[in-house]
A = this chain, B = another copy of it.
Amino acid sequence: MTNPLNANWFTEVCDYGGSAFSLKLKENGHIHHEKSEFQSIDIYDTEKYGKLMVIDGFTMVTSLENFIYHEMMAHLALFSHPEPKKVVVIGGGDCGTLREVLRHDSVEKAWQIEIDERVTRLSEEHFPELCESNNDSRAELLFADGIKWIAEADTGSIDVIIVDSTDPVGPAEGLFNEAFFKQCYRVLSKQGILVQQGESPLIHMKLIKEMHDALKNAGFQQTKVAPFPQPIYPTGFWSATLVAKNLDLDTFREEAAMNKSFSTKYYNAGIHKGALATPQFILDSLD
């Protein structure tokens, strides 16, 4: 039996999970390839998922389904915080999370600290809808090392830190350890929130547990796993990890979420409440 896939498909193999995910390309659908200072970046034109950005062989974002990830990475944290004014996105070079953050009127300043400027330039070209708030006067796009930026930031100066990174290999490795979380704890304001893309509970539970332990050691007392669908990542079953200082993440500004001034495609107040429920095996593993 030969495999039905051929060169007209982009395939990401997840060795660790023993699975692979593939998207069918349009004719001549591999439309860009480059080696930036940090990583290889490819852009594909797919048959059904729109554009696809791939970094070092791993799918990052597609036109069809990025809304789920970006909305969940931004709105869970921003509707949990009583009044988020200063927000930092670490990574997030496609600018989709930044766009969602800037939908909140309370936000006075939002930094995006992406290490690789090429990711943002390619997103501006191929995912312009994600970049439509890049010129917002409250936005500051920096191309720098997020770990260093956080280490140098003023104590208690940030309300929400969103770590919108690749997996903990390569440039993103330092975003998943206790030293970084300790700096985040220091930098966050009194009721500050840290949200981190949290991998797949189905196959990465060990890593998630280690992350939660490191977050607790760094001072965050309550850790939450908020699962959501992520169709282009292994298992399609992804999560955000949320932690806060002096704030109960089991409550949120529900009224504000119900009456929000902007529209969303995935997030709503019910979804926020639902995301606070945790599948039993995750509860059992983290206990």
Contact = CB atoms under 8 A, between A and B. Distances in A.
Interface of A: 1-7, 9, 11, 13, 17-24, 30, 46-49, 64-65, 67-68, 202-203, 227, 229-231, 235-237, 263-268, 270-271, 273-281, 283-284
Contact of A202 (B5, B64, B280): B64
Q: Is the interface of A mostly helix, strand, loop or mixed?
A: loop
Nearest to A49: B18
B3 A19 contact: no
A251 to B, nearest CB: 14
B23 A18 contact: yes
A237 B237 CA distance: 8
A271 B264 contact: no
15 contacts: A1-B30, A5-B11, A5-B22, A18-B24, A18-B47, A19-B23, A19-B48, A20-B22, A21-B22, A65-B202, A230-B236, A231-B237, A235-B236, A268-B280, A270-B277
Nearest to A263: B280
A13 B19 contact: no
Given A18-B47, A20-B9, A48-B18, A277 B281 contact: no
A287 to B, nearest CB: 13
Contacts of A22: 3, 5, 11, 19-22
Contacts of A2: 6-7
A283 B6 CA distance: 37
B281 A266 contact: yes
B7 A5 contact: no
Highest count of chain B CB atoms <10 Å: which of A5, A203, A281 = A5
A7 B1 contact: yes
Nearest to A237: B229
Contacts of A263: 280
A283 B144 CA distance: 40
